[in-house]
Structure 1
Amino acid sequence: MQQSDLSNCDQMHVFEAGNRAAERGTRMVMWITAAMMVAEIFAGWWFNSMALLADGWHMSSHAVAIGLSAFAYAAARRYARDPRFAFGTWKIEVLGGFVSALFLVVVAVLMVVGSVERLLSPLPIHYREAMIVAAIGLVVNIVCAFILERARGPHEHDDHGGGHHHDLNLKAAYVHVVTDAATSVLAIVALAGGWLYGWAWLDPVMGIAGALLVAVWAKNLIKETGKVLLDREMDHPVVDEIRAAVETGPDAGNTRIVDLHVWRVGKRAYSCALGILTHDRSLTPDRVRERLASHDEIVHSTIEIQQGS
């Protein structure tokens, strides 16, 4: 059995523990969002707008998530050379996204409870003032999305999944901004309907709609981060690539993978452990590694070869 090893310098290069541009962008967005969050929650309470309160509370979850993202970048950069982290510190970012998603679930429940209370016991709403605050919140979200889009850079394109984020941490921050912009739009629509047509019920209904939007996003984030944290990667295209690289070629039919484990260790990095049964006496771990070399996302491999009779 033979395996490839990564030095600390290799880990720094492969796993990109500290994306400086993304770190600066997320920190800037965190402070902008925190300020707007306080303004929206206070305005929603003062003007009796449940939709505005819902938008503010969702923005609070957004602020926490962006804060976790910024912390994750800083921690990953700080401990990138720490040998206690066998495959680097990338999963700090993923863990932050998972915790953020759990927090979102709690916020969604509170938003539903508050909206139902307003449906049963409506209060007068200062529509014009609340709409101004909601519109400012929407502008802030657009600005934040632009900041994160610039921080993302041209390299963040997923060749396998068709998406645009290798960086799961940055993706979480970006989707938070987009989702929060959507709840701002819902708040504006609800307040406009109440102001122009007297549909006071529309405000708490939009609050419930915003809560459902938060819950859906939280579910997707839990699923995506949980998949990484639990190493559920055996349905990823890289698995088929490994099988094709090993089982095809001049010795096709004489070599097959009898045991394969693949797990993600970085934004664009995977580790694998292979058990190979072959009738080719000349097949060695180095030759297998040469076949895998064309897939640069495979950064660590453990290879065991059994000779068939």
Structure 2
Amino acid sequence: MLLTFSMMIVEFVAGLLTNSLALVSDAAHMLTHFFALALSYLAVLFAARQTSKERSFGFYRAESLAALINGLTLILITFFIGYKAYLKIIQPQPLEEIQMLIVAVAGLLVNLISAFILWKVKEADLNVKSAFLHLLTDTFSSVAIVAGAIVIHFTSWYVIDPILSVLICLIILIWAKNLLRDSFNVLMEAAPKHIRVDEVIRTLKQNVSGLEDVHDVHIWEIATKMYAMTVHIVVKDDKRISDCSGIKGEIKRLMKEKYHILHTNIEFECPGYESR
């Protein structure tokens, strides 16, 4: 994470000094991946914090709030860089391509080292795996800048620099869009995108015996990969109160194994007395 942050600062300053908009864009691209690494680190810290009576789910949603702010910031940055690129495409400006090449190679090496470090542990945690994939895309953009600097050196086609910056900005916008969508869905307590409420109801009726009906199902994402669910279960007439304990355990086990829902709150009802 420190490697990525340090190289981000170096690329930003070098981009200003060499007049390379591609380096500035790549610095912004590195910002997205530094943020991904920071989120992974913060997720571990939040998971270790004790919950309280006022915050029974802890501070997990601080991650989503920070992601929302970061996504909005990235969009503003990319539009500013895009405007600068437009001006340079209309009127190309000379730049220091040798210095640009040196910094781009350094950025490529940092990305490769960071990716190698994360590659060893990428399967241990989904957040780390996500950060690893982001670093791979940053590595590709560094390769493009290295190639662009070489072409500029031999051809003096300075327009390549703003064109590369536009391509990098498009990658950032795609990442920012996904970031905004995911963080907004979490903050709005939307159902996780891989879980369908109708499918959950069908799964319960098919796999848990003694159920008459399933309704008032609410599933939401507390934080990344942390899901909660409330559900009303109508049991059959021949079921006693003591039977509900076994049904509850079966439902919780099924939701955890099939949908990774760790917090399931169940309300049992008798036929004819359902609360709607």
- TM-score category of the 2 structures, normalised to the smaller one: 0.7 to 0.9
Distance 1:57 1:242, change over 3 A: closer
From 213, 229, 234, give the equivalent of 1:256.
Answer: 213
- Listed as ranges, the matches of 1:38-49 within 5 Å are 38-49=9-20
Q: Is 1:237 matched up with 2:207?
A: no
- Report the 3-state secondary structure (helix = DSSP H, G, I; strand = E; otherwise coil) of the residue aligned with 1:237: coil
Q: Is 1:105 matched up with 2:75?
A: yes
Q: Gaps spanning 5+ residues in structure 2: where?
A: none
Distance 1:68 1:250, change over 3 A: closer
Distance 1:151 1:102, change over 3 A: farther
Residue of structure 2 equivalent to 1:298? 261
Deviations along 1:84-132, one digit per CA (max 9) or x if unpaired, are 3212333233333332222221221121012122223322122222112
Distance 1:41 1:250 in 2: 58
Residue of structure 1 equivalent to 2:153? 195
Deviations along 1:143-175, one digit per CA (max 9) or x if unpaired, are 2222233344x443xxxxxxxx2x3xx455434
RMSD: 2.8
- Report the 3-state secondary structure (helix = DSSP H, G, I; strand = E; otherwise coil) of the residue aligned with 2:142: helix
Figure out how many residues of one structure are paired with residues of the other and give that number: 266
Residue of structure 1 equivalent to 2:58? 88
Percentage of matched positions with identical amino acids: 26
Residue of structure 2 equivalent to 1:55? 26
Distance 2:46 2:262 in 1: 22
Distance 2:223 2:245 in 1: 23
Distance 1:85 1:134, change over 3 A: same
Distance 1:83 1:268 in 2: 23
Distance 2:27 2:266 in 1: 52
From 207, 213, 227, give the equivalent of 2:171.
Answer: 213
TM-score by length of 1: 0.74
Distance 1:265 1:40 in 2: 36
Distance 1:62 1:268 in 2: 19
Q: Is 1:177 matched up with 2:135?
A: yes
- Listed as ranges, the matches of 1:118-129 within 5 Å are 118-129=88-99
- Report the 3-state secondary structure (helix = DSSP H, G, I; strand = E; otherwise coil) of the residue aligned with 1:34: helix
Deviation at 1:257, TM superposition (A): 1.0
- Report the 3-state secondary structure (helix = DSSP H, G, I; strand = E; otherwise coil) of the residue aligned with 1:248: helix
Q: Which amino acid aligns with 1:183?
A: S
Deviation at 1:229, TM superposition (A): 2.3
Q: Is 1:130 matched up with 2:100?
A: yes
Distance 1:82 1:251 in 2: 37
Distance 1:65 1:103 in 2: 14
Distance 2:226 2:13 in 1: 44
Distance 1:245 1:288, change over 3 A: farther
